[in-house]
Structure 1
Amino acid sequence: MLPEDEKWYFDAKTREVTQGREGAWDDRMGPYDTREEAAHALEAAAARNAAADAEDNSEDDWGKPASWDSAKK
């Protein structure tokens, strides 16, 4: 048995948690070490996306508008 077959995956299309690589690769999230981690895959992805978006937004705020951006003056 391969190590990947012992891991847990979340199928975003069927919303099922499986052990081992079942289903199409483009619908599968993982691998996760536990069934519970796989069951919360969407929440974890949403939290990572929100954190990345917040970081991107903070990097975009330089305190004053760009010289060419008259809409922000």
Structure 2
Amino acid sequence: MAQYWYNVETHQVEKDAQSGWRSLIGPYESREEAEGALAKVRERNEAADALDQDEDDAE
């Protein structure tokens, strides 16, 4: 089964990792999932930042 990767340098989706690992986010099972990679990263970063802020506020 093919895997899809999002290239953070070219902002393109790659099928079966064609670039160096430092440039890729993934793997994803579909092209659509890979296209949403940056949005997912942003969501996770925001959630982690909120958790860090909650922990700082508790101290």
Q: Same fold, TM exceeding 0.5?
A: yes
From 40, 44, 66, the counterpart of 2:40: 44
Separation in 1, partners of 2:23, 2:14: 12
Q: Give percent identity, aligned residues only.
A: 37
- What aligned pairs does 1:22-37 form with structure 2 within 5 A after superposition? 22-37=18-33
Larger Rg: 1
Please list every run of at least 4 consecutive aligned residues from structure 1 whose deviation after the TM superposition is greater than 6 angstroms: none
Q: CA RMSD in A?
A: 1.2
Unaligned runs of 5+ in 1: 64-73
From 8, 11, 15, the counterpart of 2:4: 8
Tell me which residue corresponds to 2:14: 18
TM-score by length of 2: 0.92
Q: Aligned-pair distance for 1:62?
A: 2.2
Structure with higher RCO (Cα < 8 A, 6+ apart): 2
Unaligned runs of 5+ in 2: none
The yes-or-no answer on 1:58 pairing with 2:59 is: no
Aligned length in residues: 59
Separation in 1, partners of 2:52, 2:33: 26
